[in-house]
């Protein structure tokens, strides 16, 4: 059983709650949609799922229907009370906390885990990046985000949305669009399109360099994305390093894939 729009409205009223704009709260209240998300997540008996921003528990219930073990994380105390009433009796473990501040290794332990979440715009990019950087126990993600964020997560070189976040995702994982979610299934309906993005962690990073060796260079390059790299990376990468990496000094950051960034960082480690 999942929540209908009427169920969601009645739950909010019973707990004296309203969707909080400051937290980007838009609850998915269509049973067909949450079951579709659970199917796309490819989870079932024996799988462990962590859901961030579980809200009223509609998606939580759909995930539980698959037979997966579900840990539901929610920052809003009022919604934690709703989850204790709706999702905990169905088998979910409810955790109160801010996903950006949680001790994830203590919460999850060893992997593998699948993350499934409806993420607000303000949280999506930093959270996905932080989890890829610091929580290897999460080996797969299915996140619902605004279309603009989805484009940044999956973009490749040359795409207008391609940036430092895109390179970070490509370093750790493979990401792809997995379906659109219409505004009509949310309470309240958002003013933007939403997309599902599937993220599959690689067995090893795409580039044989530590993040702190690669990403300072990537961030510097994209900070001046309209500049030629010889200008945006002046003082960091010399002419010999460009030649060593097979990267044109006249190229711009948006033209380099993660492998090219890796070569440039590796060749630029020693003064050129």
Task: Please check whether residues 18 and 64 belong to one and the same domain.
Answer: yes
The reply to whether 252 falls in a domain is yes
Q: What is the mean pLDDT of residues 132-159?
A: 96
Q: What is the mean pLDDT of residues 47-51?
A: 98
pLDDT score at 233: 95
pTM of the model: 0.92
CATH code of the domain covering residue 105: 3.40.50.150
Task: Please check whether residues 131 and 253 belong to one and the same domain.
Answer: no
Token readout for 89 is 């009796």
Task: Please check whether residues 154 and 262 belong to one and the same domain.
Answer: no
Q: How confident is residue 197, by pLDDT bands cut at 50, 70 and 90?
A: very high
Task: Please check whether residues 168 and 40 belong to one and the same domain.
Answer: yes
The reply to whether 206 falls in a domain is no
Task: Please check whether residues 35 and 62 belong to one and the same domain.
Answer: yes
What is the extent of the structural domain holding 61?
5-201
> What share of the chain has pLDDT > 70, as a percent?
99
Number of domains in the chain: 2
Cβ–Cβ < 8 Å for 34, 61: yes
Task: Please check whether residues 93 and 27 belong to one and the same domain.
Answer: yes
pLDDT score at 270: 55
Say which residues have a Cβ less than 8 Å from residue 198's Cβ, sequence separation at least 6.
40, 140, 141, 142, 175, 176, 177, 178
Task: Please check whether residues 114 and 216 belong to one and the same domain.
Answer: no
Q: What share of the chain is helix, strand, coil (3-state, %, to 5)?
A: 45, 20, 35
The reply to whether 157 falls in a domain is yes
Task: Please check whether residues 120 and 247 belong to one and the same domain.
Answer: no
Task: Please check whether residues 146 and 225 belong to one and the same domain.
Answer: no
Give the strand pairing for 138-146 and 113-118.
parallel
């Amino acid at each position: 059983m999942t929540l209908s729009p009427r169920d969601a409205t009645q739950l909010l009223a019973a707990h004296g709650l309203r969707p909080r704009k400051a937290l980007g709260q838009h609850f998915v209240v269509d049973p067909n949609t949450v079951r579709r998300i659970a199917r796309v997540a490819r989870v079932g008996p024996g799988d462990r799922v962590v859901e961030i921003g579980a809200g009223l528990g509609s998606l939580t219930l759909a995930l539980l229907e698959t037979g997966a073990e579900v840990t539901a994380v929610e920052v809003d105390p009022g919604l934690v009370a709703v989850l204790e009433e709706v999702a905990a009796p169905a088998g979910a473990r409810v955790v109160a906390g801010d996903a950006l501040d949680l001790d994830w290794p203590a919460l999850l332990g060893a992997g593998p885990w699948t993350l499934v979440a409806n993420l607000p715009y303000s949280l999506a990019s930093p959270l996905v990046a932080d989890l890829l950087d610091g929580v290897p126990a999460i080996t797969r993600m299915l996140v619902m985000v605004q279309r603009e964020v989805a484009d940044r997560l999956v973009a490749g070189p040359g795409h207008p949305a391609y940036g430092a976040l895109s390179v970070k995702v490509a370093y750790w994982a493979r990401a792809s669009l997995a379906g659109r979610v219409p505004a009509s299934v949310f309470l309240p309906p958002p003013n933007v399109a939403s997309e599902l993005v599937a993220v599959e962690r690689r067995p090893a990073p795409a580039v044989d360099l530590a993040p702190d060796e690669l990403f300072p260079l990537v961030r510097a390059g994209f900070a001046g994305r309209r500049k030629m790299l010889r200008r945006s990376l002046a003082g960091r990468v010399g002419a010999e390093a460009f030649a060593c990496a097979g990267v044109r000094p006249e190229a711009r950051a948006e033209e380099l894939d993660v492998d090219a960034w890796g070569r440039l960082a590796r060749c630029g480690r020693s003064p050129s």
